[in-house]
Structure 1
């Protein structure tokens, strides 16, 4: 199942050449992951308040394939690649009219308030199977 999140490129997202600044792709895919989790019915604020758990990015492997520019309409596609009891691996792509501009593999983990690794919440494990 692919989750799609729309992104419009604003002037603030670009560098002097009008090309999306490389670090902003990480912001785009972060927003998409937040909406992906919300779409599964997970309230991350409540998860932190009630269970003391937060999600953290453990690893990102990214390929910048082609530039996005000011005023482009983009889509961020998020797909589950793998899940264990403590880790989620996602494939995320930023596309423009079907062309892949940015491709990333992102590994997420759950952490306690003290920063210790934790088992993924049951609602996540249940909704991803």
Structure 2
């Protein structure tokens, strides 16, 4: 963590690219998912523990991606994640895929907490809400 921002390093592997060695567009969502999972783990939770303890899952509700530059095979990247919304049953993140100081992709993603039994929205568990509230960042860069 760097203040309210989680920094997740990664390297682009061959499997992440198309035939031209350029990262395939859908891989940026996978990079973002890995970063959010790593952030959750750093905060003391896992997706599995949340599901087992609270009988909920955190699912993607909406996302937008703004592709600015391409990442290439063997690039060393970071995914910078910050929590921008904390709702009753939802979380919002801004995630930036970076190569050094260059923004490659900016992702805005909103997640919903869902009951595993009823598959409908459910309030975020209190322990998750408490931890995430410490990292809410509503300031624009």
Q: TM-score, normalised by structure 2?
A: 0.88
* Structure 1 match to 2:139: none
| Structure 1 unaligned regions, length at least 5 | none
Secondary structure at the residue paired with 2:71? coil
Residue of structure 1 in register with 2:122 after alignment: 118
CA positional deviation for 1:124: 1.6
Tell me the matched-pair count: 129
Match of 1:22 in 2: 25
Q: Which runs of 5+ in 2 are unaligned?
A: 134-141
Instruction: Give the match for residue 44 of structure 1.
Output: 47
- How many angstroms apart in 2 are the aligned matches of 1:119 and 1:21? 35
Distance in 2, Cα, partners of 1:29 & 1:9: 13
| Range that drifts further, 24-33 or 112-121 | 112-121
Alpha-carbon RMSD across the aligned residues, in angstroms, is 0.9
Task: Show structure 1 runs of 4+ deviating over 2 A.
Answer: none
1:48 to partner: Cα distance: 1.1
Contact 1:32 1:76 in 2 (8 A): yes
Q: Name the structure 2 match of 1:63.
A: 66
